[in-house]
Homo-oligomer: A and B are copies of this chain.
Amino acid sequence: MLFKNITVLDENFDVIDNQYVGITGDRIDYIGNSEPSVDYGEVFSGNGRLLMPGFYNVHAHTPMTLLRGYAGGLNLQDWLFNKIIPFEAKLTPDDVYYGTMLGIAEMLKFGIVSTTDMYLHTEHMTKAFIDSGAKINAGAGFVSFNPDEKLTDNKDYQITKYLYENYHGICNGRIIADASVHAEYTTLERILREYCEYAVDLGLNMQVHMSEMKAEHEDCKKRHGGKTPARYFYDIGMFKVPTTAAHCVWLEDEDYDILAENHVTVATCPISNAKLASGICDAKRILDRNINLAIATDGVSSNNNLNMIEEMKFFSLLQKVRGSDPTVITPKQTIKAATVSGAMAQGRKDCGCIKVGNKADLIVLDIAQPHMKPVHSMLDNIVYSADGSDIEMTICDGKILYKNGEYYTIDLEKAEYEVEKRRLRVLSEL
């Protein structure tokens, strides 16, 4: 596949017009001003189009597509415990598969090529990613409330083990099994320590919810002799493996030190944190400490879409208004947090930017729309002016998965039909 005369957002975030970009197999193998001599087969004319890296969504619960718009406008406790958890308790493996598939369709439409995800029936969620051609770092979301439970008897441990043994690294590295811990308040210390040791033994990445809500953060300190969630997880040994900590809204001074020293990625979910009124993380401080910061959608039921173009704008503007300073974050920092910083968090070292040798995880943006003109600054236009639907094409590992409303690997009609049928069944059972 060859793109010709296309504008490229390169690995330095410079915008370069009239480029040729060649893809062979799953990798980019040519970028240049002139037409390559090799025959690449299919050629795409890039007039009025921008080629940029696809988005890496570092915290999501994709199957929650089934719950889009369900029980909105409640306070967080009501929403989660009286509505969301009872709904989720009714979900079957196939519900999760089809909910995931519809979610992936939406993500591909909005340019997301890879997702860090934590959900129940994890194998079935992962299966949908395998079938769709998109990338996943799959986690079960470890939970344990029984002080006597043996690690090997724990269901989430068993799923983690199953994912590792059956899916880790398959599809040429597209599918990755992660260790994952739901949160401090849904586990007990002894078994969590053992689970983290297991993650170290296997060399897995870790996902965790951390300091999302003020009450969660403060309750942790009460339970653990003043330790914040970051301190508690550090002491338990969680951060011995590369960890992505979602939310991090309520970090305290020492927490920034811990995250920086242990190379923990912060997965910020700006829309979800605003919609649930959890708060706004301090991105400037995170970036000033050279902590890896990546942007994520969280689950659709607290967003309520999977639109990373929108998420970038929210992220940037929430930071500006939070800090009472319009200079606090730049478009370049924002795009980096939605692309290469996310790929790094997922352990995908050859992904996230357009350079020769990297995996071809790409999106084509229509920059000829009236809301994208004129161009005083293309990076400003991408972050502040673009609309999610400006994405025309989404490519993962060199394969076109989405193009102008068409899906090449997903039967959208079937996914929509199954989601509707299953949603109504769950509602009837509640």
- Could you list which residues of chain A lie within 8 angstroms of chain B, going by C-beta atoms? 65-76, 79, 102, 105-106, 109-110, 271, 273-280, 300, 303-307, 310, 313-314, 317-318, 320-321, 323-328, 330-331, 369-371, 373-378, 380-381, 384-385, 387-390, 412, 415-416, 419-420, 423
**Smallest CB separation, A133 vs chain B (Å):** 16
Find the B residue at minimum CB distance from A320: B277
Contact call B279/A324, Cβ cutoff below 8 A: yes
Please pick, from B70, B371, B381, B387, the residue contacting A387 in the complex, using a CB distance under 8 A: B387
Please pick, from B109, B273, B277, B326, the residue contacting A275 in the complex, using a CB distance under 8 A: B326
Residues of B within 8 A of A76 (CB): 326
Contact call A373/B72, Cβ cutoff below 8 A: no
Find the B residue at minimum CB distance from A323: B277
Residues of B within 8 A of A416 (CB): 370, 373
**Smallest CB separation, A109 vs chain B (Å):** 6
Q: Complex: how many Å from CA A328 to CA B75?
A: 10
Please pick, from B69, B370, B377, B385, the residue contacting A385 in the complex, using a CB distance under 8 A: B69
Contact call A370/B69, Cβ cutoff below 8 A: no
Copies of this chain, complex-wide, total: 2
Residues of B within 8 A of A106 (CB): 370-371
27 CB contacts below 8 A, A to B, read A65-B374, A68-B375, A68-B380, A68-B381, A69-B374, A69-B375, A69-B377, A72-B331, A72-B376, A73-B326, A102-B373, A106-B370, A106-B371, A109-B369, A271-B317, A276-B326, A277-B323, A277-B328, A303-B384, A304-B384, A306-B371, A310-B313, A310-B387, A370-B415, A387-B389, A389-B389, A389-B390
